[in-house]
Amino acid sequence: MLDRYSRQTLFGPIGKAGQERLGKAKVTIIGCGALGTVLANNLCRAGVGHLVIADRDYIETNNLQRQILFDEDDVAQHIPKAIAARQRLARINSEVEVEALVDDITADGIEALVQESDLILDATDNFETRYIINDACVKYQKPWIYSGVIAAYGVTMNILPGQTACLRCAFPELPPPGSTPTCDTAGVLNGIVGAITGIASTEALKILLDSDKICRDMTWMDLWENTFERIELPRQPDCPACGAHNFTFLEARGQASTSLCGRNAVQVRNTTHGSMDFATLAERLKAIGTVNYNAYLLRFQVDSYELTVFPDARAIIKGTDDEQVARSVYARYIGM
C-alpha cells in the first residue's frame, strides 16, 4: 500500500520506485536500546521490508526515558528487548517483516547476519562489538553505519568498505577499559538519541537507494553546547582491517563473559549447554532463592545477585562487574 508512504514518495529522491526498492531491502540492527529502538521505528515506518533486530538484554525501568518502543507493561512482563520491539513494530506497520534475535552478537554468529543483509546498523553500547561488526562488514563488503551517544553528544559515520574509511581507520585500537564514559557515569539525554538516529536512519535510506548524497564524513554534535561538526576521515592504507584484511576481532571466538556498560552486571555465555529447560531449573532453584520465568527468560534472586537466564544458557548476572565473580555465581547456581 503505497498510500501509507505518500508523504515519503512525494519526496523526489525517493518516489514510488525508491519506495518499492526499500520494500525489498533487509537491514540488521545490532542492539535495541536507545539507538536501536529509534532506528527500528524510523525504518519500519519508512517501509524497509525486512528488519532483523538483535539484542541480548531485557527491559528495565530506566530504559523508558529514551527507548521509545517500550513501556511499563514490557518491564512488568520481563520481556526481552528484541521481542518487545518486534511486537510493537508489528502494530506500527504489519507490512514489514521483523525478525527478533534474543542473542548476544559475537564473532561466532555475526558473519551469517552480515552476509544476509543489505545494511548493518550499529546500535550497540560497546566498542568491542563495533570492531567485530567492522571486521565482518569489511570482509564481506557490506555497508554499515556506526553510531553512538552519551550525555548530550553523539556521533555517526557511514562505512562503505572499499570507498570510505572504516572504523579502524578512525580508531585503530580498542579503547582501554574504563577510558570512555558510560551512560551510568555521564547519563544520556533522549534528545541526542533522536538527533543522531535521525541522521543515521536517513543515511540508511540513502545507502539502500544508492544515492549520490551519502555522507562520507563523521558527523559529531553536542546538543547542550550547540556544536556540530563534519570530520573528514580518509582511508588509511595501513589499516589492519580494510588495508591489510587482518580481521583480528572477527577471529576472536568463544568469549566467555562480558561486563555490561554501566549496569553493575556481567553477561556469561556457556557454549556447552543446549536449550535451557526453565521448568527443571526453576524447580531446582526455588529452594534457595526467588525464581520466576516465562517463555523468554528465567529470573533468579539469591543473596545480592540477580540472575537472568535465557533459553540459550546465556545469563546476565546483576550485582557485580567482576567477570570472575560472575562466572563463579553462574557455575554455583546454573552449572558450567
Report the CATH number at residue 105: 3.40.50.720
- Is 220 in the same domain as 263? no
- Is 156 in the same domain as 32? yes
Flag whether 22 is in a domain: yes
- Is 49 in the same domain as 178? yes
* The pLDDT of residue 105: 87
pLDDT of residue 313 exceeding 90, the answer is: no
* The pLDDT of residue 175: 75
* The pLDDT of residue 4: 95
- Is 158 in the same domain as 307? no
- Residue for cell digits 525478525? 99
Cell for 219? 558527523
Q: Which of 166, 183, 239, 242 is catalytic?
A: 183
Confidence of residue 176 (pLDDT cuts 50, 70, 90): low
pLDDT of residue 33 exceeding 80, the answer is: yes
Flag whether 239 is in a domain: no
137 is annotated as an active-site residue: no
Q: How far is CA 240 from the centre of its chain?
A: 24
Mean pLDDT of the chain: 91
Report the CATH number at residue 311: 3.30.310
Of the candidate ranges 21-25, 155-159, 307-311, the one whose mean pLDDT is the lowest: 307-311
* Domain boundaries, position 167: 2-231
CA distance 240 to 248: 8
